[in-house]
Amino acid sequence: MSQISNNDVRPAPARIICILGMHRSGTSCLTGSLQNAGIALGDIHTWNPYNKKGNRENQRFVDLHDSILEHNGGAWDEPPASSVWRSEEKQAGRELLESYAEYPLFGFKDPRVLLVLEGWKQLYPDMEYIGSFRHPNAVAESLRVRSDMPRNRALKLWYVYNKRMLQEYKKGPFPILCFDDSEENFHANLNRALDILGVLPKESGEKFWEERLRGSQNASQEKLPWRIGRLYRKLRSLALR
């Protein structure tokens, strides 16, 4: 049984896999696929108006992340430069992981985690990662539909989130999937990712992917700002294929 990093010895899942990625970037599909492969997620959302199979988020993690962001003067759409965890938030994180200690392989997904990740790394240094990204124009269009967010603001958010994912990748590579790929390529790359993570998928034959989950495929073909285009190309070069 793994232990949370703390002066007190506390139980935690033997392995924890954290799903990284910007909002509207295929993280829900990836997380649902990982669940089908046998990774426990706890109590998650399985339906909402913008994710017909649910965003696969555990509300307890989301609430904690929102609290941390708020007390650092930010929010999911107003990322702070850094996020300091208060003592009570560290305690809540320990208790959250402890509550899932029964699972040998546990995962969680919330795009906000990219904005508060350093705290989790302090609590659980052995945390593993897998990531997903999507073309900036597709994300911007999806955020326009969901949140009425202006394109320029959505692109800036895309850059902040994905730059942080790239920075984490540089510290130690992990599998990254591109949600722009075809269904066939997605599943092929998912299998590669599971192999890299050492996860033996269940023999259920069930696939989480449905084309309708991708949505907003009529995204703008507008030219991207150079630094956003460069980051997208960098992620494409690192993605499984």
d(CA 155, CA 173): 25
Q: Is 15 helix (H, G, I), strand (E, B) or coil?
A: strand
17-71 tens-digit pLDDT = 999 999 999 999 999 999 999 999 988 866 454 455 656 889 999 999 999 999 9
Residues whose CB is less than 8 angstroms from the CB of residue 27 and which lie 6 or more positions away in sequence, other chains included: 19, 20, 21, 56, 109, 111, 132
Q: What is the pLDDT of residue 163?
A: 98
pLDDT at 22: 97
CB 61, CB 92: distance < 8 Å:
no
Q: What is the pLDDT of residue 49?
A: 46
pLDDT digits (tens, 9 = 90+) for 153-163: 999 999 999 99
CA distance 104 to 127: 13
pTM of the model: 0.90
pLDDT in tens, 80-128: 999 999 999 999 999 999 999 999 999 999 999 999 999 999 999 999 9
Lowest mean pLDDT among 157-166, 167-176, 192-201: 192-201
Asked if the 2-238 domain carries CATH number 3.30.2130.10, the reply is no
pLDDT tens-digit readout, 210-232 = 666 565 555 668 999 999 999 99
Per-residue confidence band for 129, with pLDDT thresholds at 50, 70 and 90:
very high
Mean pLDDT, residues 191-208: 82
As a whole number, the mean pLDDT across the chain is 90
Q: Would you say the C-alpha torsion 208, 190, 213, 148 has a positive or negative sign?
A: positive
Q: How far is CA 118 from the centre of its chain?
A: 15
Within a 10 A sphere around the Cβ of 81, how many other Cβ atoms? 9
> Where along the chain do its domains lie?
2-238
Q: H or E stretch including 144?
A: helix 136-147
